[in-house]
Structure 1
């Protein structure tokens, strides 16, 4: 270990991380290099507790279905009333049920996510309503096999407007149902790989997309009329974003062209960015927010991924947010050395270099680390052993506000670890 590398490093503590966060940050993004590693969920939870108790943060947004996460927030006491005011007893069994329903992508199976919800509920039970921590989902209702049907969000949006505006301004519920048809035709798993199996570019889908735009425009145009119904308006705007985003995503799914997967990645990150920006507006009077998602979603540079031999390129949610919030967005990237038992970084990679540092968890000043990398000139980006993670790009360190290195992580199970459950 050289002295210059040591000068860039500090043992991990939440305070060591927040010392690197620029003043005026409104959206603090914490990335992870892989999903399902409990080590990064634990770090997130430690950081959130510190941000809440020492820095006035009152919300966290996670990479999970924005609609399903409403269940998490209600259980945790962030959606009105004290924790448990819905008559629930907060038992372990109920917590397990809520977490599995409230997280998408199978993330409800992880102990760190269960602990997040448990701690937020416990914290909220002891504070005034305005000080409660809210839990949000930043992702769209998307899974690896496809996207949800847009109908439920669209019908809820119409019902909200129908209760408050003249009926002649709105399409009928019957028309929306007719154009939408059975939900199963939108969620057809085969459409993920075969655009011909998607209904996203049918005549009915095109008409539905136009009506969704009209409903969203009505909501925006009449917003002053609804602004005193804060919670109901928040849900209506969430439904408007969700319906529009899903219809765009399904249209991209039906695209037979060579840029299909680039478009799908672009649409997803746009949904994440729009959701996070909306959360930021809602939380503006209560403090900054912590966002937690994959490094690839939150990084300031464009996203890139090789899929089936094709190099994909799209603007990440982080790059979109950094352009919208030039002085309010900060990004903390995480990475790891060894994934047990035998996935070790090569010595000439950034992770190999960081593995020479003492201690299990290290916080690094990215400017100093970038200077070391530039001076040495031989540090490369890590080539993953499989599809389940990405290394940090040494060339992009100057776009990061802080780096957190974990020496060892356990191999995850299932999809994200490449092994069977």
Structure 2
């Protein structure tokens, strides 16, 4: 198998939160073979950097030389690069490559990682294709205090003009407000990406992940603008699911991006599996209500944020006149069905479940579910406020909390006896598709 190759020039973070090893992790996630030239070894954990052992410039040169002579390097990411001697080596060895520079002047704990700022500007910025400073770093490099988007634009222009950097990205994460904006300037136009500010404790490695994601995408042939957009999505996911490891500021998790994509593929396979079961279970027609049925199935509850993380069948599960069942393929994400909305409400409120189906109300079915060991709870649809169908599923959860005081352990079977214009219904959730299939099969055999 042939893979594109990307090189990272960076230090080693012994706590595996940033640095060369995190860059390699991001490259591999993106399908890139990552290689590294190490500039320093840090004694580091989530509480900060205790010491730095800087690699001799001659040895850094040797690392780069042997990598260049063997690999076709498509892009380079520069992170921690410590002194003037190292700057010169990188300038001489990598001039002309596509270089993404993470201007990591200070570590998260305030430790200075780049000395000789003037030489850094002259020797590193001038050979960079893209630089990715945050607002604080961009202020230091440009001399413009950045507090607004307009400040970011002015600083980006100045860095472009003074150092000839073709693409300047200034990240907005250090600016005030509930909403942040990253700015990309290419010498002609500004491109902006806005995103909600995430109030998270574990944020170590944001700069490394962002810049290495851009570098990896460039190695795969993406345009700069598209690489910028993809990197922001990767970073936002990584921050949202930062790792609670150690006793200080934990690392973000870039692998969440690919993990969620892989899980969505598994969800589609699961939906086909349960669809096949439904169409081939001869008695399944006995479970279909008048309004028909559907299945909602999600990725792991810890990663669910919206309906985009939950799949249902595009069409409903329909009972034909001859009692045959037709499943409304294909399974799709983001379909705002009742089943998807209820599963989302359950997950967001209780952090449980990944599969849910609506089936016909029948006392016999309730007895069978109870005999299988499931707890059952009734809701009274007559008490539902008149605020439209879109909020019914969330109301069901609010009703259960207020009426029964259930804050932690939600029963798996939620039913109502209907009301005028509303069919009685059983809603049944499980923590896996396998459990759902086994339980539905047991119901059908008992009817």
TM over 0.5: no
More helix, by proportion: 1
The answer to which structure, 1 or 2, has the higher relative contact order (CA under 8 A, 6+ apart) is 1
More strand, by proportion: 2
